[in-house]
């Protein structure tokens, strides 16, 4: 049974409670049209045209630059240089992340091939390596700051002065919590109410420090480690933030503002061919997903059920992948309603993993992409 719909605290977009239920998200411009009494909503296949199909963008996520001792979170400088040159050659629009979010919420069209560049944690290599390169291109970027590390003047992190210099040259800043803790975790003996109070204080303290040091702070939030569950997602939304995870995929009108996707960039996932495919990817129109809650236990592998909205995705070539790139069998539950299910063959390992689904566009040659994260506690 589907739970009663509720309003998103910032946008009014209706979605039901995700705990064990389907999540339904109305196309943003469709809801706007309903609210203002418009009879129809213009729209074409995501390859182009007008209407809600053009409300889409890609967000890239980096951590470190040229720090070879951290290959899981760092990108080689040659890879980063090649990516920036390719974006310029292919005439991409590089927008501030806040502008993309504003257009997404308002249902305003976004030019095709629009991306945002984001960086998590505020490591020093952002200032030393990424900033000079992005300044040469004149491109904006957003740094999600974990403020305690900066306040403690840890040597691996930027200073507030360095961030102010970057701010004068195209950088903006957003909230990554103060502590960078695993926010899902409860302390021993901690009640739900105590957890909510502690996490809220952590996030609000980071917002205060960013505002004090940099003069302003956007209401954008990135989950530390990309980890969230329905309770944390609702807490963050209740504080007025649009939030980002670390699951792959393009942003589109069906995306949930409590956990928008970004493509992680590191040495193993940053070669130019992979990068180009992701940069031009389209948001797979996932109208419903069950379960939305990404936290799983040690039992059987999670079964994910999806209903897709209409698009020009070639569903005969839909492919889904699980842990260790296992090819998942697609079970069509209702082909006319574009409902299907996938399930891995092995339990999800402790830590972070995901299911990825892709399908080619019939008209553009690009790929639709959707990723759903799973988090299993150790």
Q: Is 15 inside any structural domain?
A: no
Instruction: Say which CATH number the domain at 358 has.
Output: 2.60.40
Of 62, 27, 11, 58, give the one whose Cα is nearest residue 242: 11
Q: For the chain, how many structural domains are there in total?
A: 2
Do 258 and 344 share a structural domain? no
Do 274 and 239 share a structural domain? yes
Do 181 and 85 share a structural domain? yes
Do 182 and 323 share a structural domain? no
Helix, strand, coil content of the chain in percent (nearest 5): 30, 25, 45
Do 243 and 186 share a structural domain? yes
Q: Is 272 inside any structural domain?
A: yes
pTM comes to: 0.86
Do 315 and 172 share a structural domain? no
Instruction: Say which CATH number the domain at 94 has.
Output: 3.20.20.370
Encode pLDDT of 296-322 as tens digits.
Answer: 999 999 999 999 999 999 999 999 999
Do 131 and 77 share a structural domain? yes
Domain of residue 352 covers: 289-376
Q: Is 10 inside any structural domain?
A: no
Q: How far apart are CA 256 and CA 248, in angstroms?
A: 14
Q: Is 40 inside any structural domain?
A: no
Do 212 and 144 share a structural domain? yes
Does residue 36 register a pLDDT over 60? Answer: no
Could you tell me which residues come within 8 angstroms of residue 18 by beta carbon, excluding any fewer than 6 positions away?
230, 291, 292, 293
HSE-up (13 A, CA, CB side) for residue 247: 26
Does residue 12 register a pLDDT over 70? Answer: no
Do 270 and 298 share a structural domain? no
Q: Is 9 inside any structural domain?
A: no
Domain termination residue (choose one: 282, 301, 316): 282
Does residue 53 register a pLDDT over 80? Answer: no
Could you tell me which residues come within 8 angstroms of residue 189 by beta carbon, excluding any fewer than 6 positions away?
none
Domain termination residue (choose one: 282, 298, 324): 282
Q: Is 150 inside any structural domain?
A: yes
Q: DSSP code of 156?
A: T
Do 305 and 221 share a structural domain? no
Does residue 209 register a pLDDT over 90? Answer: yes
Domain termination residue (choose one: 282, 310, 337): 282
Do 145 and 264 share a structural domain? yes
Of 241, 204, 201, 225, give the one whose Cα is nearest residue 120: 225
Do 372 and 266 share a structural domain? no
Does residue 34 register a pLDDT over 70? Answer: no
Q: Is 7 inside any structural domain?
A: no
- At 6, the pLDDT band (50, 70, 90 cuts) reads very low
Encode pLDDT of 108-161 as tens digits.
Answer: 999 999 999 999 999 999 999 999 999 999 999 999 999 999 999 999 999 999
Q: Is 321 inside any structural domain?
A: yes
């Amino acid at each position: 049974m589907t739970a009663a719909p509720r309003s998103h605290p910032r946008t009014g977009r209706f979605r039901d409670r995700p705990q064990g239920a389907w999540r339904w998200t109305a196309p943003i411009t469709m809801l706007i049209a309903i609210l203002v009494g418009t009879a129809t909503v213009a729209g074409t296949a995501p390859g182009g045209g007008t209407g809600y199909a053009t409300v889409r963008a890609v967000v890239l996520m980096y951590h470190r630059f040229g720090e070879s001792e951290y290959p899981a979170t760092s990108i080689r400088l040659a890879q980063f240089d090649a990516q920036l040159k390719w974006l310029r050659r292919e005439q991409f629009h590089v927008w501030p992340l806040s502008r993309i979010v504003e257009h997404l919420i308002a249902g305003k069209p976004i030019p095709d091939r629009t991306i945002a560049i984001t960086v998590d944690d505020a490591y020093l290599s952002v200032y030393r390596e990424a900033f000079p390169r992005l300044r040469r291109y004149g491109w904006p970027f957003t740094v999600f700051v974990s403020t305690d590390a900066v306040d403690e003047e840890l040597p691996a992190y930027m200073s507030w002065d360095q961030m102010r210099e970057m701010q004068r040259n195209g950088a903006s800043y957003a909230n990554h919590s103060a502590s960078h803790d695993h926010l899902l975790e409860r302390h021993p003996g901690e009640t739900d109410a105590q957890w909510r109070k502690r996490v809220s204080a952590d996030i609000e303290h980071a917002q205060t420090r960013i505002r004090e040091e940099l003069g302003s702070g956007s209401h954008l939030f990135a989950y530390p480690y990309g980890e969230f569950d329905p309770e944390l997602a609702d807490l963050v939304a209740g504080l007025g933030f649009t939030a980002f995870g670390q699951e792959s995929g393009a942003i589109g009108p069906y995306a949930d503002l409590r956990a928008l996707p970004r493509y992680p960039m590191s040495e193993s996932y940053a070669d130019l061919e992979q990068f180009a495919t992701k940069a031009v990817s389209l948001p797979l129109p996932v109208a419903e997903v069950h379960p939305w809650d990404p936290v799983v236990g040690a039992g059987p592998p999670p079964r994910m059920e999806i209903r897709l909205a209409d698009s020009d995705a070639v569903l005969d070539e839909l492919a889904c992948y699980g842990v260790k790139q296992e090819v998942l069998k697609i079970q069509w539950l209702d082909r006319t309603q574009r409902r299907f299910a996938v399930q891995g063959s092995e339990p999800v390992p402790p830590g972070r993993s995901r299911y990825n689904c892709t399908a080619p566009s019939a008209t553009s040659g690009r790929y639709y992409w959707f990723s759903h994260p799973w988090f299993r506690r150790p």
